[in-house]
Structure 1
Amino acid sequence: MRMEEEMMVLQRVGHMVQQIAEAIAATLNSNVTIVDSNLVRVAGTGPYQESIRNYIPNGSAFTRVLKNKETILIENPGQEEECCACTKRDSCLETFEICTPIIWQGEAVGVIGIFAFDERQKRYLQERKEQFLNFLNKMSELLASKVGETILFEKIASSNKELDAVIQNVNQGVICVNSKCKINHINTKAINLLGLSKSTKELWGIRIQDIWPEALIIKAIEKEQELFDKEEYFEGRGFKKGFLTTVKLIYQDDNVVSAVCTFTDLENIQKFAFRAREKYTNFNFDNLIGISSKLNKVKKKARQVANYDSTVLIVGESGTGKEIFARAIHNDSSRADHPFIGINCSAIPETLLESELFGYEPGAFTGADRKGKAGKIELANKGTFFLDEIGDMPLFLQAKLLRVLQERELTKIGGLKSKPVDVRIIAATNKNLEELIEKRMFREDLYYRLNVIPISLPPLRERTEDIPILIEYFLKIYNQKFQKNIKGFTSEAMNFLLGYSWPGNVRELENIIEYGINFAEDDYIALEDIKDRFGAFLDTRTSTLKEMVSKYEREEIIKCLERFGWSDEGKEKAAQALGISRATLYRKLSQV
């Protein structure tokens, strides 16, 4: 509270000050007035009562009292030195006055004055002035204490409002209870997390056991033991929630007088953890490197479906970037602020896959966590769930997944009730699911549920024009990682890379570049530096390297001429596009 506000506190408790003034007047049989530090009359009796809330005359003795913080006794008002500056000195009706400062924390916050208006009252006050001076000092101390109480009360009230505002706006449930576990305070977040129908005020005074019998705060009070980030669970009507709870005990004279618990939705914490992890894998369509028409066509299709919740099935060979496409779709959708959670169906043993996907209830099977576990589909609620290698999912799990797609709800292992989930499903495979259906290894009904939006990723061998761009991209990454400055590949090595079939696609190309940077001794990676990685391929190919290069050159020259035409102008444009001179183009044409 600012000092100016503290100095005006007498005005805010004017009713109480007036009662004290009237009590003084009755005790001393004289007229009384009380002013604040701004010289505003706060209380008064007799003739002063009509001018309450008005300023007293300028230059009055009260001004000196406030300044010097000392009592003044004036036996001849209007004639003494203290009255020289008063604007009412010539018309002053008072015959005697005593003015005493009200001091609080070393500051004069007001003045008490008692007055006589005739000779009889004057003699009465003069005869008893020592007694009255002592009495006024006591009344001044009383008023100062009332001022202090009022300021303290206002500060506490203001602090309580600030604290309540903080408690109501934190993103955690907050419950305060006394030593008998009766609720002193509960914020709106706690009410919402627990699914309660009563308001904050309606819950005050209720025993916490009546709404949450197993609450950790009860045990903390009983054992006089504080808790930090402990898991606990609340069972409401038709739902069960897990929380991460901290309990702080409040002591007075070594006795627990109250406790405060804060709790956070465990599911939200898990989702936040997934989001934090995904922060460093925040792929978007710009991460899909390439200029080929095939790639751009697929990217355009994926962008178009990103903002809709239709199920997507991504088909492509290993290493073509199926997960990157799935992440890009998610991050370009309205679900981007929610989790992207994936699972590789071929990487997890069949016995564990079901619990990873759907979760389980407490005690669902031998070895299960007694608190239960949320499945990855549930953790992806509001976001996207990515099923990689869907073709390897066991048949019995395919039926459960089909229900999630059809009903938008799941049942945990050992659970009796289903739970609604709001997820977008993106699946991916490098297998021919139609062939698996014929072999009865994949459910036909699930296939049609997944294959709403099919996206087929082209293998790298079908978009060779992207290879130089990808090489440049990966060179930059691994140069920085290994603190090297490899400028590229020799022409021999580049021609080989352009003619290679890339069964491992982009992933294999990235590995080759990392390998080459490790072993390159010059500024450019030579074929000799990487040939060990292609041993089997080099041993089994029927064409020589020179023959392969010539074949590739012929194909590229013909592509350019078909694009620009076989006229002289077309040949000029083709030479520019290929980065060779017109003479070189004619020479190579003679070999076609």
Structure 2
Amino acid sequence: MYLRIPYIDRVGIVHDITLILAKRETNIISMEVQEGIVFLECQDVLQDQRIEFVEELSSISGVQEIVEISFMPSKGRAEQLEAILTSVQDGILAVNQDSIITQCNPAAVRMLKLSAQQVPGQPLGSTLFKNLLIQETLQTGCQHNNREVFIASDHGYCVVNTIPLRNKCDDVIGVIAVIRDTHDVRNLMRSMTTSLPMTFADIPFVSPVMEEVLGQARRYAASDSTILINGETGTGKELFARALHSASRRAKAAFVPINCAAIPDTLLESELFGYTEGAFTGAVKGGKPGLFELANGGTLFLDEVGDVSAHLQVKLLRVLQEQRVRRVGSNKEVAIDVRIIAATNRNLEDMVSDKTFREDLFYRLNVIPLLIPPLRERFEDIRLLSEIFLKRFAEKLQRSVMRFSPLALQRLEGYNWPGNVRELKNIIERAVNLVDGEEVQSEHIFLGRLSGSTAAPTLVQFETYQTLEERLGEIERVILQQTSLRFRSSRRMGAVLGLSHTAVLKKMRKYELPLS
């Protein structure tokens, strides 16, 4: 039976209540006294005696009323606290100065792999007592904020906050540890910082060769196997890597890119594998997770993997084989689940032959090869990409330019594009900055010094030709020969030279030039 008894404060009111219960031989189970209210839990009173019992309590001087309630306030608070602790995803662990667990929610039980015998009332294991910084907080009274520590959890590391509990004399009598799974922390960071995902639909093309490559890539995305993307600089290898990730079952997890050629070898190891506190001079307090850990459950993109040193090639091979990673300066290994997408503009097979790239690592990376064609081999896409970049930069730079002149387009389509799509993008941005009107002219297109530039075509040193037709024929032969080196089909050559593909074939046969 639970009762709520509001009263006017006076000395002895609790004594009077207990006297009545003692007189009636009714056992008091618990009593809570707040300012102006007594909450009473006692054994049940028979129904026919309840009215008399209530009237007797009501007759006590100062008692305002007797209200029957469903539970004691302490029980309500305990149930509310239990509901809160159960609902939060962070682990919450309270320990007293004797390392006895006084509070522990289900998340902490799961993350710390506690047994049923280690629920409140039992001592916390000495390893966790130390690793969770609880021992240090008890000894020093200092709290720790967002410290990454190693525990035997699913992900190896967790983020811990410790709060010392003090009595009225300011002595530390316990510690509350708030434990957060690093996987959850990284998911939160990713949701707040990542840009919109890149998909295959975001890769523009009209050329048959790109249609075939994208068809291959879509099939590869469904697999979890390692992919090695080959392609010249500027062809969009990272774009394909992001699209592969977005189309995979890992799309909701992290995509972590790193350019292996842009980071010195001494730093690349700690970036990939992470490090522990004190591993080297300048190491961040508490250590730092590596990119393999950050990409756990998702995709790690190793761009320019051909530039990785021999030392790191060995460590990289070990991670790929064992799916476990060890931080620099640590003897603890963490299991990871990461899909690797690697990319390079170098010929790794030649590097294997030259003993500059490990053969076993090459085979580990080259499970599924994907070749991205250079822009000069996808002639049909030059106009499409140029118009897309023109519109994008016109909006960005707030210019009124709307189109290319025929000569400007002919100039773009006649260039060899050694820098591929990246070079095209930069040249269009430059042109938009130079245009005053609505149309990009030929003089606004500044190409490189490589083939296709404004330099005069190479001429043959003539000796004893008698007629103009013979001289023009030799120049025509040189032009066809140079064009065939840049554009590998008669249709592309014809589009550049203003001829039909049959006319190109006829002239090639006339001058006995090879057809590709």
| TM-score interval, normalised by the smaller of the two chains | 0.7 to 0.9
Give the percent of matched residue pairs that are identical in Structure 1 and Structure 2.
37
Letter in 2 for 1:451: N
TM-score in terms of structure 1 length: 0.65
- Pick one of 370, 374, 379 that aligns with 1:455: 370
2:63 corresponds to: 141
Task: State the alpha-carbon separation in 2 of the partners of residues 21 and 194 from structure 1.
Answer: 47
Residue 273 of structure 1 pairs with residue 189 of structure 2: yes
Q: Relative to structure 1, is the Cα distance of residues 305 and 440 closer, same or farther in structure 2, using a 3 angstrom cutoff?
A: same
Residue 558 of structure 1 pairs with residue 475 of structure 2: no
Question: Residues 223-249 of structure 1: CA distance to partner in whole angstroms, max 9, x if unpaired?
Answer: 55555x331525449995342415274
Q: Secondary structure at the match of 2:311?
A: helix
1:245 corresponds to: 161
Is the 8 Å Cα contact of residues 226 and 249 (structure 1) preserved in structure 2?
A: no
Q: Relative to structure 1, is the Cα distance of residues 556 and 387 closer, same or farther in structure 2, using a 3 angstrom cutoff?
A: farther
Question: 1:256-271 counterparts in 2 under 5 A?
Answer: 259-266=175-182, 268-270=184-186
Task: State the alpha-carbon separation in 2 of the partners of residues 143 and 191 from structure 1.
Answer: 45
Task: State the alpha-carbon separation in 1 of the partners of residues 46 and 86 from structure 2.
Answer: 44
1:373 corresponds to: 288
Q: Relative to structure 1, is the Cα distance of residues 216 and 409 closer, same or farther in structure 2, using a 3 angstrom cutoff?
A: closer
Unaligned stretches of 5+ in structure 1? 10-16, 25-41, 54-98, 103-110, 114-134, 563-592
Letter in 1 for 2:129: W
C-alpha displacement of 1:255: 6.8
Q: Which structure: greater helix fraction?
A: 1
- Pick one of 386, 403, 412 that aligns with 1:488: 403
Residue 188 of structure 1 pairs with residue 106 of structure 2: yes
Task: State the alpha-carbon separation in 1 of the partners of residues 501 and 73 from structure 2.
Answer: 83
Residue 412 of structure 1 pairs with residue 334 of structure 2: no
1:204 corresponds to: 121
Question: Residues 296-352 of structure 1: CA distance to partner in whole angstroms, max 9, x if unpaired?
Answer: 111111110111111111111111110111111111111112221122121111222
Range that drifts further, 404-413 or 341-350? 404-413
Is the 8 Å Cα contact of residues 160 and 177 (structure 2) preserved in structure 1?
A: no
Question: Residues 156-181 of structure 1: CA distance to partner in whole angstroms, max 9, x if unpaired?
Answer: 42343232122112111111245665
Is the 8 Å Cα contact of residues 100 and 120 (structure 2) preserved in structure 1?
A: no
Is the 8 Å Cα contact of residues 230 and 370 (structure 2) preserved in structure 1?
A: yes
1:170 corresponds to: 88
Is the 8 Å Cα contact of residues 275 and 340 (structure 1) preserved in structure 2?
A: no
Task: State the alpha-carbon separation in 1 of the partners of residues 124 and 316 from structure 2.
Answer: 43
Q: Secondary structure at the match of 2:380?
A: helix
Unaligned stretches of 5+ in structure 2? 7-16, 25-43, 460-478, 484-491, 505-516
Q: Secondary structure at the match of 2:214?
A: helix
Letter in 1 for 2:179: F
- Pick one of 197, 218, 221 that aligns with 1:306: 221
C-alpha displacement of 1:538: 2.7
Is the 8 Å Cα contact of residues 251 and 258 (structure 1) preserved in structure 2?
A: no
Task: State the alpha-carbon separation in 2 of the partners of residues 184 and 271 from structure 1.
Answer: 30
Letter in 2 for 1:137: S
Residue 429 of structure 1 pairs with residue 429 of structure 2: no
Q: Relative to structure 1, is the Cα distance of residues 177 and 507 closer, same or farther in structure 2, using a 3 angstrom cutoff?
A: same
2:509 corresponds to: none
Residue 335 of structure 1 pairs with residue 277 of structure 2: no
Q: Secondary structure at the match of 1:467?
A: helix
Q: Secondary structure at the match of 2:63?
A: helix
Q: Relative to structure 1, is the Cα distance of residues 6 and 543 closer, same or farther in structure 2, using a 3 angstrom cutoff?
A: farther
C-alpha displacement of 1:416: 3.9
Is the 8 Å Cα contact of residues 209 and 215 (structure 1) preserved in structure 2?
A: no
Is the 8 Å Cα contact of residues 285 and 325 (structure 1) preserved in structure 2?
A: yes
Is the 8 Å Cα contact of residues 194 and 234 (structure 1) preserved in structure 2?
A: no
Aligned length: 444
Residue 402 of structure 1 pairs with residue 320 of structure 2: no
Q: Secondary structure at the match of 1:445?
A: helix
Task: State the alpha-carbon separation in 2 of the partners of residues 431 and 381 from structure 1.
Answer: 28
- Pick one of 236, 239, 252 that aligns with 1:324: 239
Task: State the alpha-carbon separation in 2 of the partners of residues 225 and 417 from structure 1.
Answer: 27
Q: Relative to structure 1, is the Cα distance of residues 468 and 340 closer, same or farther in structure 2, using a 3 angstrom cutoff?
A: same
C-alpha displacement of 1:403: 2.1
Is the 8 Å Cα contact of residues 410 and 496 (structure 2) preserved in structure 1?
A: no
Q: Relative to structure 1, is the Cα distance of residues 163 and 291 closer, same or farther in structure 2, using a 3 angstrom cutoff?
A: farther
Task: State the alpha-carbon separation in 2 of the partners of residues 404 and 136 from structure 1.
Answer: 76
1:161 corresponds to: 79
Indicate the structure (1 or 2) with the bigger Cα radius of gyration: 1
Task: State the alpha-carbon separation in 2 of the partners of residues 509 and 199 from structure 1.
Answer: 67
Question: Residues 97-142 of structure 1: CA distance to partner in whole angstroms, max 9, x if unpaired?
Answer: xx9xx9xxxxxxxx849xxxxxxxxxxxxxxxxxxxxx96328928
Q: Relative to structure 1, is the Cα distance of residues 541 and 263 closer, same or farther in structure 2, using a 3 angstrom cutoff?
A: farther
Question: Residues 63-95 of structure 1: CA distance to partner in whole angstroms, max 9, x if unpaired?
Answer: xxxxxxxxxxxxxxxxxxxxxxxxxxxxxxxxx
C-alpha displacement of 1:286: 1.1
1:354 corresponds to: 269
Is the 8 Å Cα contact of residues 247 and 261 (structure 1) preserved in structure 2?
A: yes
Is the 8 Å Cα contact of residues 229 and 342 (structure 2) preserved in structure 1?
A: yes
Task: State the alpha-carbon separation in 2 of the partners of residues 357 and 445 from structure 1.
Answer: 20
Question: 1:4-19 counterparts in 2 under 5 A?
Answer: none
Higher relative contact order (CA 8 A, sep 6+): 2
Q: Relative to structure 1, is the Cα distance of residues 247 and 484 closer, same or farther in structure 2, using a 3 angstrom cutoff?
A: farther
2:392 corresponds to: 477
Task: State the alpha-carbon separation in 2 of the partners of residues 477 and 232 from structure 1.
Answer: 43
Task: State the alpha-carbon separation in 1 of the partners of residues 148 and 304 from structure 2.
Answer: 36
Task: State the alpha-carbon separation in 2 of the partners of residues 381 and 489 from structure 1.
Answer: 46
Q: Secondary structure at the match of 1:540?
A: coil
Is the 8 Å Cα contact of residues 271 and 380 (structure 1) preserved in structure 2?
A: no
Is the 8 Å Cα contact of residues 232 and 242 (structure 1) preserved in structure 2?
A: yes
Letter in 2 for 1:233: V
Is the 8 Å Cα contact of residues 90 and 180 (structure 2) preserved in structure 1?
A: yes
Task: State the alpha-carbon separation in 1 of the partners of residues 21 and 281 from structure 2.
Answer: 81
Q: Relative to structure 1, is the Cα distance of residues 239 and 526 closer, same or farther in structure 2, using a 3 angstrom cutoff?
A: closer
C-alpha displacement of 1:184: 1.9
